[in-house]
A = this chain, B = another copy of it.
Amino acid sequence: MEIQIGRGKTARRAYGIDEIALVPGTRTLDPSLADTRWRIGGIEREIPIIASAMDGVVDVRMAVLLSQLGAMGVLNLEGIQTRYADPEPILDRIASVGKDEFVPLMQELYAQPIEPDLIERRIQEIKSQGGIAAVSATPAGATKYGSIVAKAGADLFFVQATVVSTAHLSPESVTPLDLAEFCRQMPIPVILGNCVTYEVALSLMKVGAAGILVGIGPGAACTSRGVLGVGIPQATAVADCAAARDDYYRETGNYIPVIADGGLITGGDICKCIACGADGVMIGSPFARAKEAPGRGFHWGMATPSPVLPRGTRIRVGTTGTVEQILRGPAGLDDGTHNLLGALKTSMGTLGAKDIKEMQQVEVAIAPSLLTEGKLYQKAQQLGMGK
Contacts and interface: CB of A to CB of B under 8 A. Distances in A.
A300 to B, nearest CB: 9
Interface string A156-179: 000000111111111100101000
B21 A225 contact: yes
Nearest to A303: B334
A330 B28 CA distance: 45
A47 interface: no
Interface stretch (A69-77, A130-138, A183-191, A193-201): A193-201
A70 to B, nearest CB: 16
B330 A24 contact: no
A6 B240 CA distance: 5
Contact of A171 (B7, B9, B30, B242): B30
Interface in A327-378: 329-336, 339, 342-343, 346-347, 350-352, 354, 363-378
Interface in A261-312: 265-272, 275-277, 301, 304, 306-312
A143 interface: no
B197 A23 contact: yes
Interface string A197-237: 11110010000000000001100100101111111110111
Contacts of A368: 370, 372
Contacts of A225: 21, 268, 369
Given A167-B26, A267-B229, A371 B369 contact: no
A230 to B, nearest CB: 5
B5 A239 contact: yes
A28 B365 contact: no
Interface in A17-45: 18, 20-30, 32-33
A349 to B, nearest CB: 8
A170 B30 contact: yes
Interface residues of A, number: 138
A271 B229 contact: yes
Interface in A99-136: 103-104, 107
Given A24-B200, A365-B232, A307 B334 contact: no
Given A243-B8, A335-B223, A370 B371 contact: yes
Contacts of A165: 24-28, 352
Nearest to A365: B14
Interface in A234-263: 235-240, 242-244, 246
29 contacts: A5-B15, A6-B277, A11-B15, A12-B366, A14-B21, A21-B217, A21-B232, A22-B231, A24-B197, A24-B216, A26-B165, A28-B163, A30-B169, A30-B176, A169-B354, A223-B335, A226-B335, A227-B267, A227-B343, A228-B350, A230-B350, A233-B365, A307-B330, A311-B336, A316-B381, A370-B370, A370-B371, A376-B383, A383-B387
Given A6-B15, A309-B331, A371-B373, 17 more contacts: A5-B366, A8-B246, A9-B235, A13-B365, A22-B229, A27-B168, A30-B170, A32-B171, A33-B169, A103-B331, A165-B352, A227-B267, A228-B350, A229-B347, A310-B334, A369-B374, A383-B385
Instruction: Give me the 4 closest cross-chain CB pairs, A-B, nearest first.
Output: A6-B239, A7-B243, A229-B268, A229-B271
